[in-house]
Structures are given as structure tokens and as C-alpha cells.
Amino acid sequence: AQSVTQPDIHITVSEGASLELRCNYSYGATPYLFWYVQSPGQGLQLLLKYFSGDTLVQGIKGFEAEFKRSQSSFNLRKPSVHWSDAAEYFCAVATRGTSYGKLTFGQGTILTVHP
């Protein structure tokens, strides 16, 4: 069965520092890949997605992610974190050939930003 692993449950960074959140997946073939952000009192919001093509994907709010097939990874990055980025981040995958919206999510990584 497919699975998504986010190894870091909680990450703390200082404002202005760079950020990398890790995501690894276990699938038979390259799935569709997504990163979502969830802030308290708000619904999940899509940051970026990878379907095919360029393996470096740009998203909203200055985030980017890189798909590495050899490592089965899709890590999320941001060069300079803002206090408003504090939230929980979820990596998710969908099997090719099925609905884009039938997602398997990782456990999530909680990001704390120190001033």
C-alpha cells in the first residue's frame, strides 16, 4: 500500500532563516505530489503540486519543492521564513490514473517560527 512519510513532526526556525520540510513516499510508480498548509481555524490550502515536467515546482507564498525520483522524495523549501508561515504542513500523494483528489497524506510537520 502507498504511504507518505514526513520524518519531522515539529520544526522550529528563526524568522528569516531557510526552511526545508522533508517528504518521502512509497509507491510503485511516480504519483501526483502535493504540499498543503493548515493554519488554525482555516482549511487546508494547496501550496504547490507536481504532476509532470520540471522537477522543481514553484508554489504560492514563496515556497518551492523538488521532486527526486531516485530518492522518492518531494521536499518543500523556502529561502526565508516569515512569522506568518507558522502552521502545519502536509505532504500528500495521489495515484496516477485515479482521481487527483483521492489523496494519501503524511502525518504533518508543525512549523514554529521564532522572532
Partner 1 sequence: GAGVSQTPSNKVTEKGKYVELRCDPISGHTALYWYRQSLGQGPEFLIYFQGTGAADDSGLPNDRFFAVRPEGSVSTLKIQRTERGDSAVYLCASRDSSGELFFGEGSRLTVL
Instruction: Using the minimum distance from each CB to partner 1, give the nearer residue, 4 or 111.
Output: 4
Give, rounded to a whole angstrom, the gap between the first and last alpha carbons of the chain: 41
Is residue 67 near partner 1 by the rule CB under 8 A? no
Is residue 32 near partner 1 by the rule CB under 8 A? yes
Choices 13-21, 22-30, 34-42, 76-84 (CB under 8 A): range interacting with partner 1? 34-42
DSSP 59: -
Cα separations in angstroms, 33 against 67, 78, 95, 97? 8, 17, 9, 13
* Least distance in angstroms from the C-beta of 8 to partner 1: 14
Instruction: Using the minimum distance from each CB to partner 1, give the nearer residue, 51 or 83.
Output: 51
Cα–Cα distance for residue pair 78/21, rounded to 1 Å: 9
Q: Which of 41, 53, 97, 115 touches partner 1 by CB under 8 A? A: 41
Beta bridge partners of 12: 112
Judged by the rule CB under 8 A, the positions of this chain that interact with partner 1 are 4, 32, 36, 41-46, 49, 51, 90, 92, 98-108
